[in-house]
């Protein structure tokens, strides 16, 4: 293994993977996963509630363990990896960001809807003041035309973001759409470019590779595909593929394989597969964390969760509008 990296991978299973676990991570689980990721030399490990700092709520799902305890646990076993946190303005505040930084988090990923970068400047500025590496995270990037995406990325850069991400929150982007977006960002912004994919249409790996071809150097992955919907680009597979391509990540492949098999697989409630609901998420272009909420609402009201997700997609519902899920399910039930 070499420490040389052409692509820097952020492991998101301890944040995005909180969704399929209904935010029930324990300190012991985070300690084991984070230590193994650190030992495998993964550069960044994201740890937060699935919906970011302060996400634990009735609307987004209550955490079993206070996320600050989970962040502290991850930091305690990470002497090589940097711990990252996600913050969605309006859910998390500068207060939570300061608390995370005080515990040793080194990267802040400030996430907004793809057309709402203008809510992020104070959070990015605060992260910079705290000495954190900062990322502008443009969620639901499939919902904006490329020109609009470029405009929003330029805003993130102007606020001080060190990296700007194209975030395929719904797993809805096709490879040519990723290529067009990353290529445009490469031409129009001067900071690092990242890509965060979901596998709802079985395209997370293909889209990640296209992003790298077009100049992205920051890629997200989730070990064993542990992420919302059908999961993210599978980290251990991504490391293997990039190694075959001669693109160094600095990550120990064998250790990632062992972590996936021996530590993460037993945590999964069910294997991460492209099932009906996750496939519909990608097809309809709906936020990947909506799957569990839609399934619960559908069972409660006796409707098909696919109908709920398709309708949410038609209404262009975005992250933060989880309260709409039950409303839509109720409307569908009333029409039956």
Q: What are 120-161's pLDDT values in tens digits? A: 999 999 999 999 999 999 999 999 999 999 999 999 999 999
Residue positions forming the annotated binding site for Mn(2+): 16, 196, 198
Place of tokens 């996320």: 67
CATH of 289-335, picked from 1.10.10.10, 1.25.40.340, 1.10.8.60, 3.10.180.10, is 1.10.8.60
For 147, the token pair is 């020109």
Checking if the pLDDT of 246 tops 60, the result is yes
Place of tokens 């296209």: 210
Tell me the pLDDT tens digit for each residue of 180-190: 999 999 999 99
CA 125 – CA 306 distance, rounded (Å)? 40
Q: Could you give the angle at the alpha carbon of 80 between the alpha carbons of 79 and 85, nearest 5°? A: 90
Please tell me which residue in 19, 113, 142, 293 is annotated as part of the active site: 19
pTM for this one? 0.93
Architecture per CATH, 8-267: Alpha-Beta Barrel (3.20)
How many residues are present in the chain?
Answer: 336
Establish whether 19 is a catalytic residue.
yes
Place of tokens 């084991």: 32
CB of 54 closer than 8 Å to CB of 65: no
Extents of the domains making up the chain: 8-267, 289-335
- What burial letters (b/e) apply to 284-301, b meaning 16+ CB within 10 Å? bbbbbbbbbbbbebbeeb
């Amino acid at each position: 293994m070499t420490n040389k990296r052409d692509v820097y991978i952020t492991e998101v299973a301890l944040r995005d993977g909180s969704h399929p676990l209904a935010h029930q991570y324990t300190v012991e689980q985070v300690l084991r996963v984070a230590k193994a990721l650190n030992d495998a030399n993964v550069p960044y490990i994201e740890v937060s509630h699935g919906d970011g700092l302060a996400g634990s709520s009735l609307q987004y799902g209550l955490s079993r363990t206070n996320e600050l305890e989970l962040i502290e646990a991850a930091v305690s076993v990470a002497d090589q990896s940097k711990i990252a946190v996600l913050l969605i303005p309006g859910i998390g505040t500068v207060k939570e960001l300061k608390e995370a930084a005080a515990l040793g988090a080194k990267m802040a990923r400030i996430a907004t809807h793809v057309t709402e970068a203008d809510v992020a400047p104070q959070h990015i500025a605060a992260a910079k003041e705290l000495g954190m590496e900062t990322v502008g995270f443009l969620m639901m990037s499939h919902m904006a035309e490329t020109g609009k995406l470029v405009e929003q990325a330029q805003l993130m850069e102007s606020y001080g973001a060190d990296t700007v991400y194209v975030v395929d929150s719904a797993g809805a982007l096709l490879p040519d759409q990723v290529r067009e977006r990353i290529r445009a960002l490469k031409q129009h912004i001067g900071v690092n470019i990242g890509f965060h994919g979901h596998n709802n249409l079985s395209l997370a790996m293909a889209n990640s590779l296209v992003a790298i071809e077009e100049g992205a150097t920051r890629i997200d992955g989730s070990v064993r595909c542990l992420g919302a919907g059908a999961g993210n680009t599978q980290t251990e597979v991504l490391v293997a593929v990039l190694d075959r391509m001669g693109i160094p990540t600095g990550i120990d492949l064998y250790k990632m394989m062992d972590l996936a098999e021996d530590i993460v697989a037993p945590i999964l409630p069910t294997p991460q597969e492209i099932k009906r609901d996750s496939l519909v998420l990608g097809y309809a272009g709906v936020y990947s964390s909506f799957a569990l909420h839609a399934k619960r609402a559908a069972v409660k009201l006796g409707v098909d969760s696919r109908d709920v997700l398709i309708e949410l997609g038609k209404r262009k519902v975005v992250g933060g509008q989880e309260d709409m899920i039950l409303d839509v399910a109720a409307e569908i039930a009333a029409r039956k």
